[in-house]
Amino acid sequence: MTAVTVCASAFFGTAQVNNNKYPVFGVDVSNYQGVIDWELIDEQNVDFAFIKATEGSGYVDRYVSRNLKNIADTDILCSCYHFFSFDSAGETQAENFIKTVDKDKIQLPPVVDIEYYGDKSQNKPSRQEAEEILLPLLEKLEEHYGVKPIIYTTMPVYYRYVKENFSDYPLWIRCTQFEPEHLDWEFWQYSDKGRLEGYYGSEPCIDFNVFCGTMEELEQLVVED
C-alpha cells in the first residue's frame, strides 16, 4: 500500500495519508474505469471497494453486474453506491438500487452518494427539498438491506444537507486537500488521482480511500444475511 499512496501523492489535490494510522485501503469505481481485473486489483493491497450501481430512478451503471460477479472471486470486501438525484422521488431511487443490487452480492452497507451535479451548486435545492427525497431513500434501503446506509458526500453538501438530520448515518467524506479530522467519518476519499494496474476504461485515475479503523473493525461492518 505504501507504494500505491506515494504514487497518488505525486498528483495535485491528493491529501497526505498516514498509512500507519489508516492501514485499511480501498477504491471506488464506476463505468469510467471500464473492465476491471479484480484479481489484479486485489494483489495491490486493496481491502475494500465501492462500485457504482445506480443513479436517480432509472440509470444503471453498465459495468455493475460484471464488477459484482468478478470481485466475488477476491478477498476484497465490497458494496455498491447510488448517485443521489435531487430531481426524482426517494422511493423510486431506492427501488432502482434494490432491483440492481442483490443482498448477497455485497458485504458492506449500501451507499448513497449525495453531491452537487449540473447547476445544483449554483442553484442549490433547499434543505427541506433534499430531505424529502433523501429520507425515504435511506429508510427504504435500510429496511431492505437491514443496515443503515453509508452517506458519501463532499464538505459543502455535508454541512448543507447531512450534518443536521443525518449525522447518525456512517459517513464517507470526500476531502482531497487535507485530513478531515474535525468530522466523525468511517471512510475518507483522499484522492481522485490514484493509479493502479488492472482497469481499462477511459479514466486513467481511480479514487483512493481509507477506512478509519483496523481490518478487524471493517469486518465488523459486514452485513449479516
Q: What angle do CA 171, 174, 176 make, to 5 degrees?
A: 145
List, by residue number, the catalytic residues. 115
48, three cell numbers: 475494500
Below-50 pLDDT ranges, the chain: 1-12
Residue 16: per-residue pLDDT = 86
State the pairing for strand pair 150-154/206-211: unpaired
130, three cell numbers: 433534499
Residue 13: per-residue pLDDT = 59
Residue 105: per-residue pLDDT = 97
CA-to-CA distance for 174 and 192, rounded, in angstroms? Answer: 9
Residue 11: per-residue pLDDT = 43
CATH pick for 2-15+25-45+52-219 out of 3.20.20.80, 3.50.50.60, 3.40.640.10, 3.30.70.100: 3.20.20.80
CA-to-CA distance for 147 and 107, rounded, in angstroms? Answer: 11
219, three cell numbers: 469486518
